A and B are shown apart, each in its own frame.
Chain A
Amino acid sequence: MNHIKHLLSKINVETIKIELMNTAYGERSTLMAKLDPRVAIIWYLMFAILPWFFWNNTILIGMLLYMIVLTAVSRISPLILFLLCFGILTEAGYIIFVSIFFGGDLTAALALMTFTMKLTIISLASIVIFTNMDPERFSDALLRFKVPETFCFGISYGYRMLPILIDEYQSIFQSFRLRGKYPESKGVLGWRYIYHICVTTVKAFYPMILNTAKRTRTTVEALEVKGFTYGMHNPKAKELKLSYLKTTKNDALFLSITCVVLFLIIYTGNTYPIERTVHQL
């Protein structure tokens, strides 16, 4: 219990900022980071879609194990993993609680296990991919897949910009708190206090919006000076920008190993299926 409390106390603005900095600028030497981003995206799509087609628990467990191994190799930050587990457990527990309340039994829990497992596989896949990939490479890969330029730009911009924005918002918020007056009495359940915090949160957005507007204008002007709009619509310029994306032997090896593993999982699953027995009407 103390351990959980300790972990929960860590979830504040500072930790999240550091975590984001780490994701945006951190060293990328893990297996997934070295992959060609296009291969990584294809791999991710495979695991985002496939779980929905199986109701056989053996196959899902196999996929989950594969994901856990990959997660372990990819050095994911404990905070993100903790948030994931916490989310999954509370969500599933909540639904089970309510369905038992409505006269259901543990069948509901088992059915939801399958569902939760699917969601977990997909979340783990995305964590492995997106916290490990370099934003520029990621956005270039998307550009190669013909995703609109503005979106690709948005992704690399977002990764780099967010920590700065959070910093700025935090300092505005703190200065509001410094100048503002805290409510003298807390009220029932501390509602005055909560109200005060909420109002400050909203009010702090006013200067934030104006500042961000100025900053956005500067960014876009700088982009246009570099010929962003023109370059993005010019096939030659695009070709030049994306020419560094090359698949290597490692990528092919990774994809083929994944396919073999998947095949094995599905084969084992079909031989020893664990399926929920339904329909005993």
Chain B
Amino acid sequence: MNQNSLHQKKELNQSQQLMIFVLSMSLFGLANIITEIVPEFTFGPVELSVSYFAFIPLTMVFLFSPLPAALGAPLGEIIFADLLMGDFGGIGELEGFIEFGLAMYIAGLLVSDPMNKKQISIAVLVGVGIDQMLSTIVDIGKVWIGIEELEAVPGVPESILLLEGISFVNEMLISGVLFGLIPALWLVPKLYGKIEPLMGFEPRGDRSFRSATEVVSARFLILAVFFCFVAMIAEFMAEMDVNFAVWEPEFIEQFGQQFLWIGVSAAVIVLILAIMGISYLKKSSTPDTKSSRKAQ
């Protein structure tokens, strides 16, 4: 970070980045407090709740430089909704931070023109989708590690899978479309060109906040997350099958522990991939900056 701040990362200097970071943090934190107050509606196993106002961080990453905005939003959630409200999950928050930050960053990279509704729609859905997939992976992994020998407890794997499935669909519909896509389509064009002068910089242009390599890596990351998600679900299903194979007790004894470690390693791989991806993006964006600035 020190090095970057000396030769202005992209078009923004350190204090402008700080501005975006703080703005995104405050707004998303506030939005999270409001979602805490909004009541939930539960119909049997289907729970209708607004878990977060995705349009706030999404609007921020579309309008401003994606990286500071994407980092600020999950921090806002941790500080405002978790630390202050005493709902802090400890190390677990780190996972949420990485998931959400990564998802928002990728969403921000997908948009080059904030007035283009098609781009915004795709980016919103991809952003929320990545966040939800990653959190499903981690949730399943967590229960897996938390409950020893899960496959020996009847009913739990199926119910976890069902609950995760319901919550995935629910989140995509409510947080992704109702409180993500629709408000973002309304807010982004409305704010574009109005909010930037207040903050003291130029509106985002076609290439001003991202480089071609970043976009290519964003596509790669989307694919990586998607495959990890599929792999994890498949593993979990396989685990359930082991549960049904009661007539082969040696089988479980032989492979029980190993199956547990597959889950753990899948989670670790996702984490490492995410970290590597982010650091790679950071590195690759620096040399590009100079050329793009010259071009302008």
Q: With a CB–CB cut-off of 8 A, which chain A residues contact B154?
A: 99, 102-105, 107-108
Q: Which secondary structure dominates where chain A touches chain B?
A: helix
Bound Cα distance from A210 to B192, whole angstroms: 11
Which residues in window 1-48 of B have CB below 8 A to A? 1-2, 5, 14-15, 18-19, 21-23, 25-27, 29-31, 33-34, 36-38, 45
Number of chain A residues close to chain B: CB under 8 A: 82
- A220 with B163: CB separation less than 8 A: no
Which residue from A49, A94, A125, A220 sits with its C-beta under 8 Å from B15?
A: A220
- B159 with A102: CB separation less than 8 A: yes
Residue A247 CB within 8 A of the other chain: no
Which residues in window 153-197 of A have CB below 8 A to B? 153-155, 157-159, 161-162, 165-166, 169
Residue A281 CB within 8 A of the other chain: yes
Among B76-84, B202-210, B287-295, the one that faces the other chain is B76-84
- B27 with A98: CB separation less than 8 A: no
- A154 with B159: CB separation less than 8 A: no
- A279 with B149: CB separation less than 8 A: yes
Which residue from A19, A101, A151, A220 sits with its C-beta under 8 Å from B75?
A: A151
Bound Cα distance from A111 to B29, whole angstroms: 34
Among A211-219, A253-261, A264-272, the one that faces the other chain is A211-219
The winner among B21, B22, B246 for most chain A CB atoms within 10 A is B22
- B143 with A115: CB separation less than 8 A: yes
Residue of B nearest to A213 (CB): B198
Knowing A150-B18, A158-B79, A213-B195, the reply to whether A281 touches B246 (Cβ < 8 A) is yes
Bound Cα distance from A118 to B148, whole angstroms: 13
Residue B223 CB within 8 A of the other chain: no
Q: With a CB–CB cut-off of 8 A, which chain B residues contact A101?
A: 155, 159
- A220 with B146: CB separation less than 8 A: no
- A100 with B187: CB separation less than 8 A: no
- B18 with A220: CB separation less than 8 A: yes
Residue A24 CB within 8 A of the other chain: yes
B163-198 toward A: CB 8 Å interface, digit per residue (1/0)?
Answer: 100000000000000110001001100110011001
A28-55 toward B: CB 8 Å interface, digit per residue (1/0)?
Answer: 0000000000000000100011001001
Q: With a CB–CB cut-off of 8 A, which chain A residues contact B246?
A: 281
- A114 with B159: CB separation less than 8 A: no
How many A-B pairs have beta carbons closer than 8 Å: the answer is 222
Give the shortest distance, in Å, between B38 (CB) and chain A (any CB): 8
Residue A208 CB within 8 A of the other chain: yes
Give the shortest distance, in Å, between B188 (CB) and chain A (any CB): 11
Residue B59 CB within 8 A of the other chain: yes
Bound Cα distance from A154 to B26, whole angstroms: 9
Residue A243 CB within 8 A of the other chain: no
Residue A70 CB within 8 A of the other chain: no
B219-236 toward A: CB 8 Å interface, digit per residue (1/0)?
Answer: 000000000000000000
- A169 with B34: CB separation less than 8 A: yes
Give the shortest distance, in Å, between B184 (CB) and chain A (any CB): 10
A191-208 toward B: CB 8 Å interface, digit per residue (1/0)?
Answer: 000000010011001101
Residue B281 CB within 8 A of the other chain: no
- A162 with B45: CB separation less than 8 A: no
Which residues in window 236-291 of B have CB below 8 A to A? 246, 249, 252
Which residue from A126, A216, A279 sits with its C-beta under 8 Å from B26?
A: A216
- B37 with A214: CB separation less than 8 A: no
Which residue from B80, B146, B198 sits with its C-beta under 8 Å from A162?
A: B80
- B155 with A158: CB separation less than 8 A: no
Among B86-94, B106-114, B118-126, the one that faces the other chain is B86-94
Residue A76 CB within 8 A of the other chain: yes
Q: With a CB–CB cut-off of 8 A, which chain B residues contact A48?
A: 90-91
Residue A66 CB within 8 A of the other chain: no
Give the shortest distance, in Å, between B218 (CB) and chain A (any CB): 23
Knowing A16-B36, A114-B147, A151-B75, the reply to whether A278 touches B153 (Cβ < 8 A) is yes
Q: With a CB–CB cut-off of 8 A, which chain B residues contact A155?
A: 79, 83
Residue B160 CB within 8 A of the other chain: yes
Which residue from B37, B90, B147, B149 sits with its C-beta under 8 Å from A44?
A: B90
B133-157 toward A: CB 8 Å interface, digit per residue (1/0)?
Answer: 0000000000101111110111110
Knowing A95-B159, A166-B30, A217-B200, the reply to whether A127 touches B90 (Cβ < 8 A) is no
Which residues in window 211-254 of A have CB below 8 A to B? 212-214, 216-217, 219-221, 223-224, 228-229, 233
Residue pairs across A and B with Cβ atoms less than 8 A apart, 7 shown, are: A104-B159, A111-B148, A118-B146, A157-B22, A158-B76, A212-B26, A217-B19
Q: Which residues of B contact A (CB under 8 A)?
A: 1-2, 5, 14-15, 18-19, 21-23, 25-27, 29-31, 33-34, 36-38, 45, 53, 55-56, 59, 72, 75-76, 79-80, 83-92, 143, 145-150, 152-156, 158-160, 162-163, 178-179, 183, 186-187, 190-191, 194-195, 198-200, 246, 249, 252
